[in-house]
């Protein structure tokens, strides 16, 4: 699906089962993807804030209800930093409440994924998300108004 270029993605989720399911789904998509996984928001932000890190992921998947001790609000912290302005942030959550979805988008997320319980549905959703994100990335479309809910 994606030119020849490799896509870099990061997942931050504190639930081990969810991490494994995500990893397997990404692997089964059979795309040219490099996936890195972090177990907490703190671990993720320490990594991203490291000034020696110049290459940012094309897309970051964040579990909405993940514990973040050092940084109280992951999304807010990320969006405050101009360095991360071009990185797409996908929120991965079990909530289907319209209010939660709105709040997340207003907080600066680009993508909202309702965590599906079915593995095949998850794969399908991830494929859609990666496809549309790649279009935005390769076509230089504005990230400021990039919103996608699935």
What beta strand segments (E) does 13-99 contain?
33-38, 59-63, 88-93
Measured from the CB atom, the residue of 52 and 139 that comes closer to another protein is 139
Residue 25: how many other CB atoms lie within 10 Å: 19
**DSSP label at residue 56:** P
Least distance (Å) between residue 145 CB and another protein: 5
Report how far Cα 133 is from the mean position of its chain's Cα atoms.
10
- Interacting residue ranges for another protein, rule: CB under 8 A: 1-3, 80, 82, 102, 105-108, 112, 131-132, 135, 138-142, 145, 147-150
Measured from the CB atom, the residue of 38 and 61 that comes closer to another protein is 61
Measured from the CB atom, the residue of 53 and 131 that comes closer to another protein is 131
Least distance (Å) between residue 87 CB and another protein: 14
Residue found under tokens 């979805």:
101
The helix or strand, by DSSP H or E, that contains position 115, with its residue range, turns out to be: none
Least distance (Å) between residue 82 CB and another protein: 7
């Amino acid at each position: 699906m994606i030119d020849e270029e490799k896509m870099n993605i990061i997942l931050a989720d504190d639930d081990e089962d969810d991490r494994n399911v995500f990893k397997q789904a990404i692997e089964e998509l059979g795309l040219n993807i490099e996936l890195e996984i972090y177990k907490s928001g703190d671990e993720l932000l320490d990594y991203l804030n490291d000034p020696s890190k110049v290459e940012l992921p094309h897309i970051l998947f964040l579990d909405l209800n993940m514990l973040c001790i050092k940084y109280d609000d992951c999304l807010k912290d990320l969006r405050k930093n101009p360095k991360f302005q071009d990185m797409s942030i996908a929120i991965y959550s079990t909530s289907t409440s319209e209010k939660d979805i709105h709040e997340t988008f207003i907080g600066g997320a680009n993508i909202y994924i309702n965590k599906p319980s079915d593995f095949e549905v998850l794969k399908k959703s991830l494929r859609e998300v990666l496809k549309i994100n790649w279009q935005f990335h390769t076509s230089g479309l504005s990230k400021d108004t990039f919103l996608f809910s699935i």
